[in-house]
Structure 1
């Protein structure tokens, strides 16, 4: 329902002011950045259309809110302005047109820097010694967190200059590396504490810790990006040739422009020179920066890092674009809120707000009922998302979802959309709560939720949804690989009543198939041939195709080796199955339960009669040569110098070692390459032996 402009303006101001207070004063964010940006831009548009409604207290007329009060408030020597946002090429073009109206510069260049997703800080040095660290706060005043800043090891306590200026202020971003963030959340989960939503929130919470010891333990990092020097101070000379080489190395192929074509000035009269001076002073400066001659080069840089950022060891949500020449920056100046000479290009949101239309419920091949959120379509990480998983009944209840709620969705692992949280403050009056059904939406049978499980299930083995899922799994590539039978044909066969179980596929004939819509003789023959060929698939593939709960391809292979016939597996006790390395009690119970069901026993009998492979070769009888790693458990992580991870795992197995995917007290060795992440952190915490690829080879094949 739309509101009159005057009413909507008041409503938006209240929402934004409340969000700013919660974020800056209480350190308890209630709106995601993407939601705040969306509401802020809506308010901007309304105020531009109705300028008589603009008031001094509007969020569009001020930098921010008051800082939190648990630390001493300090006024910034120079205000910390926020940046205007751009979301596409058109926004960048408008920005360039605006600053050129202020100061026309026929010859100019830009510097592009990754926008680190952390917390801005201002650091003050007197005579080269660190004396104060202040958060951004509202841009005019921030919180004095000097003691906490001292714990960040990438921030020098003394500048690496022989003759430092009497006073200098450095701006930059404090952040948590991804692996450190994962380790912190893993530790909090083990202690039953609430998890941090993302690395930026974790960094903000860390900086506001009253105990510097806690801050030190969380291993914050810092990138410097701006420096303010006193007038008249002379920068130690840098060789001109080296400066030219650095400049050329930073250019953007194939849009590179010759250095002579750019207004190269002595350091530090350019943004690039300022970054080089910061490096000289002993600061970490992000290495992924680049000089760009025009918007085409900027666009190429942004596109490249939209893909490359996912391989970085820290979070970045965009690119900051600055005019390179500092004198041109000074001439262009500032608006009331932003510098005119810089802009932030924001990437498509990994998390984004949208509206829930309704919740539907899917029935899986094991009978699991999965609630699914049907959404107003939204762009998320470069794709359009209209559905998101809600996982199970517990998650649905935890979210307290109502129809037409405004929600935050994200891509878990950048693949599966899921609902992150609800914004109840935006909930329509009288909205209906979304709850799990009591009966199966496919067959009407009463649903069951075992007390020890999170999953709600349909236990009717004749449920058409379960059968459809079972058949789709059976014909899939990882199972029987019947490529002529897809989900569409499976649905046709079920709807026509031609098959009532997996075994029914092997009773199909050409004449029967030709009665289906759009099924000619050649197509029918192709289906029958493909089904017949699947009879040669090995016992491990058949076992996986049966769709026994908790049995994946790896477990199926393991079980088929330990129990070389279906009869042996069916007769096995829970204890004998659980005793196999990598199986365990829960999987063993699932397998045992499956074989106790009469309908499943009948299915095995029909598959045997159809001629499928229900026995294998078992374990290799070739004697294993004892090595230093025989029986030892390994985890492989990171990028190794010469081997792929799968190659390293096979190498370990061939030498008699065992490989698992998770680090635990039972792990003997962690083989770690570059960007090893949280597994390395956990291994270090547990005091495990950590090997390089070279050390692994030396251990297995000693000279």
Structure 2
């Protein structure tokens, strides 16, 4: 929990951000210990803008903590997969001569070794010998990222487009190491020794100065003097101190090399960069939208404390999983006061005996979310008897306690609606934002959504045209044919994903499933007793809502029964087929759907039980040879079509 008071300069920057970000809301969000993904994104956007503007509101540690919290909620969130903007508040952008990406982060030697395994695997795929793989290790400068093409100096921007800040050179900014212009990417930095001696009593941190160097307005006279004295420089990565050696030497002497690079420059750094030097390998590995795959940043930080647990508070997530949150005696750790921490799962609470009075070792390793590393003093484990949101009986699912009440649990209803429309897949209008608004107006069940008329949508604040479109899409979603297994899966019953729904529906009709016993489900191949019991209880919980929706008259495509499949005269009836590569006769999903209709069992990966591997375009020889080694028949797309046609 952070107490934040914005200065007038910071408020000026915040006012130029998205309209849905305001300072009053941010102050409240900074105080919260439990945050939703959209709240985290607001904090990250604001913190990043203030940091880039030279007026940071939180530490790098706290920013990384928020990033890690967002990743734990949704590791695929778009904010995590783009370059944080390194941009001025107002200026025209221009295309960068070369992409400037962020750097993937690692916080332990084990993380580095995992990354190195990816490097070695890629090298093996293109026949580069291990002895040719060297790594370059450099300090990770904590400055203002920029790109110099010899004529123009650009900010990094979003990695694709930046802003012209050539004025920094016009003010006297020099290239470090007496280097020449035009050496590409680097950082604008100021010497630590100079800042500490000359400027630390004037500026709160060096970030203020980095932003001032490139600002459009007149440069502060103290900053101009630092530029004139050569303390402020543009440091191209090409010139930075480095250690280059075979990867095995780097790993064997990892700690000493990290320490050497950490102290190699008189500038603020926040880690070290490791990258492969092999040009062909770098080109082959390429990049994601955010990071180069051949490069990684190692960041160091670890603090721990022994903390007493006050209580374990159960919280129901939107997926029905009950998360144990340990309320702690407030403790300072890595500059932040920690009073709550999420325990991994309730099986850990039970087996490690965590409850009121327990003493745990709390660790922040690598500037990420605090976690319980161990239990110093055990106590009676504190386990909930029922869902804290709806009071339902809880189920154990592996290490987790689950609330099976998908349709009436307040913590889950909104997610249930989102899951239904997303899984159904034939309605584009009812995304999270629309569902959130409808939920706020008391619509908690699927059938209630389908009862909404055009004038009601208007009364909920939707425009006339949007309201008509939403109404029309609801009608269309009932008329457009959808597989019965997909319809069932859309209700979000625990242990009933699409695959298990299809297995059940190969033996029973969709309405018969609600009368099955766990023993009857266990008789079907692929269902264990615990899963069967969870499915029976889950179906019972959604039964009333299911039939209210089912009776609205959806156009369901019925899954062929197992007996019908076995009796099919199709050449692939009973066969296990896998599709890979880009198909020309339709999408892979369409091909899989058609194969199922012909009695085939479609799998996602090749095993010894696979009958056919159907290959489209751009399939590697390694995958094909591996399938053949398992005795699988490999068919091209055309050979597969010929097989179906009896050619």
Give the TM-score taking structure 1 as reference length.
Answer: 0.40
Q: TM-score with structure 2 length normalisation?
A: 0.43
Q: Max radius of gyration: which structure? A: 1
